[in-house]
Amino acid sequence: MIDAQKKSRRASGRTTLADVARAAEVSPITVSRALRGERGVDPQLVERVRKAVEQLHYVPDPAARALASQRSTQVLVLVPLLSNNLFVDVLEAIHRTLFPQGFQPLIGVTHYDTAEEELLLRTYLPMRPAGLLVTGFDRSEAARQLIARSGVPCVHMMETSTAPNVASVGFSQADAGAAMTQHLLERGYRRIAFCAAQLDPRVMQRAEGYRRALKQAGQYDPRLELLSAEPSSMALGGRLFESLLALNPDVDAVFFCNDDLAQGGLLAANRLGIPVPDRIAMAGFNDLAGSDQMVPPSPPCAPHANR
Amino acid sequence: MIDAQKKSRRASGRTTLADVARAAEVSPITVSRALRGERGVDPQLVERVRKAVEQLHYVPDPAARALASQRSTQVLVLVPLLSNNLFVDVLEAIHRTLFPQGFQPLIGVTHYDTAEEELLLRTYLPMRPAGLLVTGFDRSEAARQLIARSGVPCVHMMETSTAPNVASVGFSQADAGAAMTQHLLERGYRRIAFCAAQLDPRVMQRAEGYRRALKQAGQYDPRLELLSAEPSSMALGGRLFESLLALNPDVDAVFFCNDDLAQGGLLAANRLGIPVPDRIAMAGFNDLAGSDQMVPPSPPCAPHANR
DNA sequence: TTGTACGCGTTATCAC
DNA sequence: GTGATAACGCGTACAA
């Protein structure tokens, strides 16, 4: 039994890079380079390494990697909710993109709470994720500094920014809100209400777009805005719709800030025997599951990107 | 400039345990013990350490911890889907329990695909998670062995097992399916259909319970079972319902294996002008969001546990 | 292109 | 109860 066989007191039993190196008769660093696909390694050695890896069933240790390189392969992704399918779709797309490249999404849920987001950042940033994806720009100053000082590359999702050194991917929520309102105006509706819940920044930006479009058309009436800070739900959509009708009997269209509210509003209208869209038109947002099953159904949307 | 100050070529700039040890004038291992709340450390030293940690803004390095201890603080959680709110609720409950205890859920989505689950295990088990939560018992033999050989403590969710050395938390899906069917029988329904999608193990177990109850009552008719391997959705629920009526005009009740199917079936009935439950009764499963907004609404459920 | 030497930051082991 | 020492498994820096 030679030296290489002597057992350490702490042996984890794990096959290590050094084991592979011995088997392939190269130095450990060559194995490391070969495994990470670093170029500039003799193809013959790469092949020797590959065989040794296979024979020994070698699997790299992520913790040792992270410690030595100061970077893990996890990508921290912070979303407000999982109960809104919009974010589930986003997470699926992120996984489909990252995972095959050797990165793993690490999901954190903020519940639209900046304090919770801050806590998640404090917990996960020390893991030195390879990247960070956050939702929108609404966060605590402390969170902003945590991100900046961590040095972890950060991309903002679901909103856009033109600020320098800020990466973002999304669309203008305000423009989208204005476009929806404009569409209703073009269909001939004049008393267009806006029903919203959650009141997160993106909802408020859509509200801003709604106002902009109506003011431009000279049709803006603040009484037609019904905002609730409650979490969005079908039940709330129904209640908002009933309140709206009671407060403004002359309303002829409703722009719900999210599809679940719209679904609830539509079901309430069905219950109350109010014809849609003859008596009142309804518009939703985000094309959530089930909207195509309503009575009347929402029109088909263009297929989502990145599906 | 003394020895302790000499800069390594690779200084990461990070404050380390050793820094804290110097500041608190104790050895590194004492800091380590104090921070992990190991008992048997002099309270005065613990306090000195606490102060030094605060002054230096020390944050432990998870990678170094994981490497030295062979255990991370992440808990791998594998669920089939995020688009079913049932699993989102489960994940929320898991987070609420683990996170305050210093563990972080690491979410993986299998899409009911055993190959995908296996790949996730191969990717994440090398991170040496502190624990593993998987959904049900339906997995590849390779996956089973990966789990067993990893030595990571594993709990199975959503189903139960009496096998030795198997930890599980859940209820009997078969018994639940039988109970639902029994309830419909007791209400006087006789031609009770079962509409299912996805056909994952838990759905099939509920189907088994459905059959058991009907056979026992002498009312079982295989023609009343409508199973589709498609993913569950409201749209599919509507289609299944329409097929069911066309194939079995005498059906007087439907047990949908999941609430989204039931919602779709109910909306289809509304569209077709079929009175529910007068012409046909409907039952769903899992109490998903929105079921209380249907026409007629689902009766209120007991509050979920662990909320 | 390949290798040597060492550091990454922490915890296990064992002695005191 | 506390500490010295040596891992843990890999990547960086620099030399050859």
Each residue of B94-125: pLDDT tens digit?
A: 999 999 999 999 999 999 999 999 999 999 99
Average pLDDT over residues A121-140: 97
Is the Cβ atom of A36 within 7 Å of strand D at any atom? yes
**pLDDT higher than threshold 60 for residue B307:** no
Sign of CA dihedral B183, B185, B190, B196: positive
Average pLDDT over residues A4-24: 77
pLDDT at residue number A9: 65
**pLDDT higher than threshold 70 for residue A4:** no
* Pick from A261-265, B11-15, B260-264: least confident: B11-15
Lookup: tokens for B282: 């409907």
Looking across all nucleic acid strands, the nucleotide with the smallest C1' to CA distance from residue A15 is D9
A253 forms bridges with which residues in the sheet?
A192, A281
pLDDT at residue number A303: 60
Is the Cβ atom of B47 within 7 Å of strand D at any atom? no
Name the residue in chain A with its Cα closest to that of B107: A107
Q: Which residues of A touch B124 (CB under 8 A)?
A: 104
Q: Give φ, ψ of A126 to 5 degrees.
A: -60, -20
Helix axes B43-56, B17-24, angle to 10 degrees: 120
* Pick from A12-16, B62-66, B127-131, B137-141: least confident: A12-16
More confident of the two residues B132 and A41: B132
Sign of CA dihedral A49, A54, A56, A60: positive
Of residues 3 to 22 in chain B, which lie within 7 A of strand D by their beta carbon? Answer: 9-10
Residue B234 distance to chain A (closest CA, Å): 6
Q: Please, which pLDDT band fits residue B256 given cuts at 50, 70 and 90?
A: very high
More confident of the two residues B297 and A192: A192
Average pLDDT over residues A128-132: 97
Point out the residue nearest to C3 (C-alpha to C1').
A27
pLDDT at residue number A7: 52
pLDDT at residue number A10: 67
Cβ–Cβ < 8 Å for A104, A126: no
Dihedral of the CA atoms A120, A126, A130, A131 (nearest 10)? Answer: 30
**Comparing C-alpha atoms, which of A150, A105, A104 is closest to residue A126?**
A150
**pLDDT higher than threshold 90 for residue A53:** yes
Collect contacts of B154-163 with beta carbons under 8 A, ≥24 apart.
B155/B131, B157/B90, B157/B133, B158/B90, B158/B202, B159/B201, B159/B202, B159/B205, B161/B137
Closest CB to B64 among A67, A82, A292:
A67
Q: Where do the domains of chain A lie, and which CATH numbers do they carry? A: 4-60 (1.10.260.40), 70-170 (3.40.50.2300), 173-293 (3.40.50.2300)
What stretches of A110-257 adopt beta strand conformation (E)? Answer: 131-135, 154-157, 167-169, 192-196, 225-227, 253-256
Chain D nucleotides covered by protein, CB below 7 Å: 1-14
Cβ–Cβ < 8 Å for B160, B136: no
pLDDT at residue number B165: 92
Q: Please, which pLDDT band fits residue A244 given cuts at 50, 70 and 90?
A: very high
**pLDDT higher than threshold 60 for residue A103:** yes
**pLDDT higher than threshold 70 for residue B17:** yes
Residue B17 to residue B27: CA distance in whole angstroms: 9
Residues 6+ apart with CB under 8 A from B82: A82, A88, A91, A92, B88, B91, B107, B109
Residue A126 distance to chain B (closest CA, Å): 6
Average pLDDT over residues B260-283: 95
**pLDDT higher than threshold 80 for residue B172:** yes
Each residue of B214-248: pLDDT tens digit?
A: 999 999 999 999 999 999 999 999 999 999 999 99
Residue A20 to residue B49: CA distance in whole angstroms: 41
Q: Please, which pLDDT band fits residue B299 given cuts at 50, 70 and 90?
A: confident
Q: Please, which pLDDT band fits residue B298 given cuts at 50, 70 and 90?
A: confident
Chain C nucleotides covered by protein, CB below 7 Å: 1-5, 7-14
Q: Please, which pLDDT band fits residue B4 given cuts at 50, 70 and 90?
A: very low
Interface test with B, best of A70, A82, A109, A112 (most B CBs within 10 A): A82
pLDDT at residue number B9: 52
Amino acid at A54: E
Average pLDDT over residues A139-154: 96
